[in-house]
Amino acid sequence: MTRTVSKSRSSGRTTLAVVAQRAGVSTMTASRALNQPERVSDEVRVRVEQAVAALGYVPNRAARALASSQSNVIVVLVPSLSNFVFNAVIDGIQEVVDAANYQLLIGNTRYSDAEEEKLLSTYLQSNPMGILLSGLTHSPRVEQLLATSGVPVVSMMDLSTDPTQMSVGFSQHEAGRTMTRYLIEKGHKRIGFIGAQLDERTLSRAAGYRQAMQEAGLADERLEVMVPDASSIALGAELLGRMLAQAPDCEAIFCCNDDLAHGAIYQCQRRGIAVPEQLAVCGFNDLPASAWMKPSVTTISTPRYRIGYEAATLLRNAIAGRAPAVGQVDLGYTLMPRESA
């Protein structure tokens, strides 16, 4: 009796032989359909392409060159390379990677599921030893690629509730709740939330804000301004104007990041609104400039460098076959009370 094997025993990857079996062709024909499609019929080509899509197959280019080869590549996917937050994460990763003689293959997903799918599909062809991803939520295609890759994966920035998913970060939800409760305890009742980009971290902070407002009996949809635009100082200034237009009695504003908070404070200064006497403004992430603004910005300090360092360490141990004592590493966060609130 023939037993079907869906993955290579050595790497855990879905093999071309399995693709061929699903498509009902020989391995050689399947290879030809992928690499020289003009040499097979349209019917065969379509069957092979459908099998590739169903199985999440990714060609192993490194294996083509040398069957016994194994790269020393670590794939890192982040949503931005211009954002200081992720620059610090990469710095932490780099320290671990350099010490282990690995090479980084860094991709910028630009907060796009389609870009993440394209990058991951391409980078998996380098036969990486491990993958570091930002966030916990990914498209079905990315989840399929990860499941069939056969390599360890560590998620960064947030904490998974799935014990089988390795992650390093902190609770974005609780951090958002903590900042909102701080403003409530300062005596504010009309507390607004300004959010941009609307990635999973922003949405988690917003959920924490809403929970705190609901617990205090202060929830009001008019106190939220949420847009999908890329975050910037200029956008912070613009969104402050929107907030004051729809909720002129707003007493305090929690911005989902420091860029927006900086812009909101600059806009207040242009309008002659005293911060924090007339309007308190808070941010998130504690960027270097926040401590030196006038007024200095009340914010949440996040351990970005340590997230990168600990995630890379967790991945390095997984590659070496060392099971982690703890699969979810909570590095916490710190409220930084300053002059702006």
How many structural domains compose the chain?
3
Is residue 340 a part of any domain in this protein?
no
Is residue 338 a part of any domain in this protein?
no
Residue 167 has a CB neighbour count (10 Å cut-off) of 24
Q: What is the pLDDT of residue 67?
A: 44
Are residues 72 and 38 part of one domain?
no
Residues near 191 by Cβ (< 8 Å), separated by ≥ 6?
Answer: 180, 183, 184, 209, 213, 218, 223, 250, 251, 252, 253, 254
Are residues 291 and 320 part of one domain?
no
**Mean pLDDT in residue range 18-42:** 86
Are residues 87 and 39 part of one domain?
no
**Mean pLDDT in residue range 135-147:** 93
Q: Provide, rounded to the nearest whole percent, the portion of the chain with pLDDT above 70.
A: 93
Are residues 135 and 186 part of one domain?
no
Report the amino acid identity of residue 309.
Y
Domain that holds residue 128: 65-170+305-333
Name which of 49-53, 63-67, 166-170, 309-313 the model is least confident about.
63-67
Residue 195 has a CB neighbour count (10 Å cut-off) of 25
Q: Decide: residue 289, CB within 10 A, 0-12 exposed, 13-18 middle, 19+ buried.
A: middle
Indicate if the pLDDT at residue 71 is higher than 60.
yes
Give pTM, 2 decimals: 0.79
Q: Which of 10, 41, 57 is the last residue of a domain?
A: 57
Are residues 246 and 133 part of one domain?
no
Dihedral angle of Cα 78, 81, 87, 89, to the nearest 10 degrees = 0
Are residues 223 and 188 part of one domain?
yes
117-126 confidence digits (pLDDT tens) = 999 999 998 8
Residue 217 has a CB neighbour count (10 Å cut-off) of 7
Q: What is the pLDDT of residue 64?
A: 52
264-300 confidence digits (pLDDT tens) = 999 999 999 999 999 999 999 999 999 999 999 999 9
Is residue 341 a part of any domain in this protein?
no
Indicate if the pLDDT at residue 66 is higher than 60.
no
Are residues 164 and 181 part of one domain?
no
Are residues 193 and 143 part of one domain?
no
Q: Which of 38, 57, 76 is the last residue of a domain?
A: 57
Are residues 294 and 192 part of one domain?
yes
Are residues 178 and 158 part of one domain?
no
Are residues 318 and 242 part of one domain?
no
- pLDDT confidence band for 70 (50 / 70 / 90): low
Instruction: Check which CATH number belongs to the domain holding 11 and give it.
Output: 1.10.260.40
Instruction: Check which CATH number belongs to the domain holding 242 and give it.
Output: 3.40.50.2300
Are residues 127 and 242 part of one domain?
no
The length of the chain, given as a count of residues? 341
